[in-house]
Amino acid sequence: MAAQVSRRLLGVAAALVLLAPAALAQDDEGLPNVFISPAGKPFRAPHGAPYPVVDWFRQADKNSDGKLDHAEFIADAAAFFKELDLNNSGLLDPYDVAMYEHRTAPEIIGGRVRVGDLGPRAGQAARLWLAQYDDVPVTDGSGDSDQPKKPQTLDETLQGASPYSLLPIPEPITAGGLDARGVVTKAAYMAQAERNFSALDEDDRGYLTLDSLPLTKVQELLGGKKRRRR
């Protein structure tokens, strides 16, 4: 297993280089309309469109009854694990995690993606609040400071996926922990999904509704009506 992981790691850098042509968005429309599901899957919508938590909920609510029950929530997580497991090994190795962070959900490392783009420029590691705002002034060294001014509308302490997510989890794929080999097992990933459901189902109803979900930080800043404290 270790040799297999090592061989795959050798391909990570080369694979990420191939992502370079997909440039980061450089528009001036403000915060990205992005939601990252509890399972870690990103949903993006054009500016002005409904916040894409709606897209996730409708996709996960398989019987379309307006209630995302425990079984549907867990099935949604299992389906995304299958997408992430690129070689069908039943594990998420460092290659799978790197592809997730750099291509599938680059927002968690500070990237920004236009709707329709496949991924960001490889190696982009800008701080989250810099990636979310395109009009942040950056001095050229001739001013009093070479540091950009921090936007006041986003808390810099919200790291990774947290501003886009229902729960304050910076990296949803590895949140359940890595085993001794440095991989995410399906058991650990699904155990985290169980914890996520319990955290969101505060009233122990056995299901979630769209109106009962907390707003993400980005959703609040985009003008969402606050439902309850996170």
Q: What is the DSSP annotation of the chain?
A: -HHHHHHHHHHHHHHHHTTTTSPPP--SS-S--EEE-TTS-EEE--TTSPPTHHHHHHHH-TT-SS-EEHHHHHHHHHHHHHHH-TT-SSEE-HHHHHHIIIII-GGGGT----TT-----TT----HHHHH-S------SSSS-SSPPPPTTS-TTS-TTGGGSSS--S-TTTTT---TTS-EEHHHHHHHHHHHHHHH-TT--SEE-GGGSPPPHHHHHTTPPP-S--
Angle at 214 between CA 213 and CA 217, to 5 degrees: 140
Confidence (pLDDT) at 55: 98
Digits of tens for pLDDT over the chain (230 positions)? Answer: 555 545 454 444 444 434 433 322 333 457 889 999 999 999 999 988 999 999 999 999 999 999 999 999 999 999 999 999 999 999 999 999 999 999 999 999 887 665 554 443 333 333 333 333 333 333 333 334 343 343 334 444 468 999 999 999 999 999 999 999 999 999 999 999 999 999 999 999 999 999 999 999 999 998 876 555 44
Strands 91-92 and 68-69, by their bridges, are: unpaired
Q: Which of 104, 124, 110 is nearest to 44 (CA)?
A: 104
Contact 124, 24 (CB under 8 A): yes
Which amino acid type is present at position 83? Answer: E
> Looking at the domain assignment, is residue 227 inside a domain?
no
> Looking at the domain assignment, is residue 169 inside a domain?
yes
Q: What gap in Å lies between CA 67 and CA 124, rounded to an integer?
A: 38
Confidence (pLDDT) at 23: 29
> Looking at the domain assignment, is residue 134 inside a domain?
yes
Q: Which of 82, 33, 49, 47 is nearest to 216 (CA)?
A: 33
If one counts the domains in the chain, the total is: 1
> Looking at the domain assignment, is residue 214 inside a domain?
yes
Q: What gap in Å lies between CA 40 and CA 174, rounded to an integer?
A: 10
> Looking at the domain assignment, is residue 103 inside a domain?
yes
Domain assignment of residue 99, given as a range: 16-221
> 53-112, pLDDT tens digit by residue?
999 999 999 999 999 999 999 999 999 999 999 999 999 999 999 999 999 999 998 876
Q: What gap in Å lies between CA 120 and CA 106, rounded to an integer?
A: 7
pTM of the model: 0.72
> Looking at the domain assignment, is residue 4 inside a domain?
no
Angle at 186 between CA 183 and CA 191, to 5 degrees: 110
> Looking at the domain assignment, is residue 50 inside a domain?
yes
Q: What gap in Å lies between CA 92 and CA 51, rounded to an integer?
A: 29
> Looking at the domain assignment, is residue 30 inside a domain?
yes
